[in-house]
């Protein structure tokens, strides 16, 4: 590792400013979890991000930290709009990979006898796997441009959901700075048949139930109760977002040299936010983010149709309402208070979730009293969590917290470890019915490949970055 790192308290460690670092690095983690990442590059990556021009406050990472492209996954960094930079590595390849949670009026006992039928039908209705596409839903470029400009608003305008859904999506399901002219022809080609598809890797749709309530009053305001059936959707911008990232990394490598930016790692290639290259990346990234918002909205529509077909009731009667939808991989222009001053910053969250506090104007009115819902999915064999944002997150992390469990094992290592095992059968033995596009995906996504999400959530709860509300347990999952 070769870096000095010191504990500040039980949940917080500092990499003091050293070498070319312009600020400290802060990692929210326990001593035990820190040992799990000492073999990878993620701690060094936190320090590298601290070297970038115009960084405001520390370079931060959440307890689900692991090595990523340039920034660590779990990384959070804010930049001044005048002197700061924007980096595709601070957003990631899967732009606006994110998660949404649906509630229902159904209880576990009503769904359990039908779980295999439900999961099998979801698997048919929502294309999964590498390169998955919808043969029945290919968009012409003129229509796809509208998706990139309007996000989930486009989907709702076409009858896929309601205005109420939009009120419960981060940024209303649309980043306004999107400019579809700045997205390449190749990205359009990759995205035209992928709207409403899950993709591969760790993306999933999970039918589960509320296993534990930690804060009854807040749970009621969110609309959660014990043994209630829920649905989580986790996916992003598919091939379109990947291509946008790939295209702009090439632009940023040239821009870094053009503007004389000293990079500790080429993967941190960037441009000044106010430069033409910086502004163009922000506008193209917003297009991919809007595609992801629309993608999750379309998947929600097909989930609702699946439930309607099986339970012979409308989704309104079933109470299949959207609780919230949050981004994981995004850079956003936001107002924050830093050192007593109100400032506008570009906040990179890469494998990190927004966690705005009670009273914040961007929190939907329904949740303004309690804070923004924070959704933290775990691996397919354990738990997921619902939390709410806090004032301490606003003060310490620019309103940010963790996004999931975080890998501790590469996909290759997971395949090696699980060789010869029947993962689907093992999951069924735990009472979880799983369908996937291929056996390899299930092997790559074994629980052992991830930190226990309960440990990760305990850190952000203990550090005061988010408050635990409920725990969800899976009944059935479809995987890419």
Q: Mind telling me the catalytic residues?
A: 403
The H or E element containing residue 35 is helix 31-37
Burial of 27 (0-12, 13-18, 19+ CB in 10 A): buried
Concatenated DSSP letters of 373-385: EEEE---TTS-EE
Alpha carbon 155 to its chain's center? 20
Q: Report the DSSP pairing between strands 271-272 and 85-86.
A: antiparallel
| List of residues 6+ apart from 186 with CB closer than 8 A | 243, 247
Which strand (E) or helix (H) includes residue 411?
helix 411-417
Dihedral angle, C-alpha 234, 238, 243, 249, nearest 10 °: 10
End-to-end Cα distance, the chain:
34
Q: How far apart are CA 318 and CA 429, in angstroms?
A: 29
CB 33 within 8 A of CB 12: no
276, burial (CB in 10 Å: exposed 0-12, middle 13-18, buried 19+): exposed
CA distance 183 to 243: 9
45 close to 37: Cβ distance less than 8 angstroms: no
- Tell me how far the alpha carbon of residue 143 is from its chain's centroid: 26
């Amino acid at each position: 590792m070769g870096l000095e790192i010191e504990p500040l308290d039980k949940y917080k460690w500092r990499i003091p400013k050293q070498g070319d670092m312009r600020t400290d690095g802060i990692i929210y983690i326990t001593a035990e979890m820190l040992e799990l990442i000492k073999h990878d590059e993620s701690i060094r990556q936190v320090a590298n991000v601290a070297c970038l021009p115009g960084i405001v406050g520390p370079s931060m990472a959440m307890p689900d930290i692991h090595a990523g492209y340039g920034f660590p996954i779990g990384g959070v960094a804010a930049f001044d709009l005048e002197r700061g930079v924007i980096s595709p590595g601070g957003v990631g390849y899967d732009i606006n990979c994110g998660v949404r949670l649906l509630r229902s009026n159904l209880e576990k006992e009503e769904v359990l006898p039908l779980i295999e039928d439900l999961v099998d039908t979801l698997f048919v209705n929502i294309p999964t796997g590498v390169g998955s596409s919808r043969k029945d839903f290919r968009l012409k470029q003129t229509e796809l441009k509208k998706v990139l400009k309007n996000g989930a608003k486009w989907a709702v305008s076409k009858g896929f959901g309601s205005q109420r859904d939009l009120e419960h999506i981060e940024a209303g399901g649309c980043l306004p700075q999107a400019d579809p002219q700045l997205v390449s022809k190749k990205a359009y080609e990759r995205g035209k048949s992928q709207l409403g598809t899950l993709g591969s890797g760790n993306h999933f749709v999970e039918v589960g139930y509320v296993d534990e309530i930690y804060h009854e009053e807040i749970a009621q305001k969110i609309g959660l109760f014990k043994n209630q059936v829920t649905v989580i959707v986790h996916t992003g911008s598919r091939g379109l977002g990947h291509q946008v990232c790939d295209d702009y990394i090439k632009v940023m490598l040239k821009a870094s040299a053009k503007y004389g930016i000293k990079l500790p790692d080429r993967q941190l290639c960037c441009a000044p936010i106010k430069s033409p290259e910086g502004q163009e990346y922000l506008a193209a990234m917003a297009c991919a983010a809007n595609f992801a918002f629309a993608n999750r909205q379309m998947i929600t529509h097909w989930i609702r149709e699946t439930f309607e077909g099986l339970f012979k009731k409308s989704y309104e009667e079933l109470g299949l309402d959207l609780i919230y939808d949050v981004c994981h991989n995004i850079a956003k222009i936001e107002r924050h208070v830093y050192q007593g001053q109100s400032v506008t910053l570009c906040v990179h969250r890469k494998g990190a979730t927004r966690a705005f506090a009670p009273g914040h104007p961007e929190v939907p009115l329904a949740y303004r009293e309690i804070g923004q819902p924070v959704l933290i999915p775990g691996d397919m064999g354990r738990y997921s969590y619902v939390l709410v944002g806090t004032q301490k997150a606003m003060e310490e992390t620019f309103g940010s917290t963790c996004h999931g469990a975080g890998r501790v094992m590469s996909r290759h290592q997971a395949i090696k470890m699980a060789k010869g095992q029947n993962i689907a059968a093992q999951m069924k033995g735990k009472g979880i019915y799983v369908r996937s596009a291929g056996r390899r995906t299930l092997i790559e996504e074994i629980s052992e490949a991830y930190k226990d999400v309960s440990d990760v959530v305990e850190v952000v709860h203990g550090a005061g970055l988010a408050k635990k509300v409920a725990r969800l347990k899976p009944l059935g999952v479809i995987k890419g």
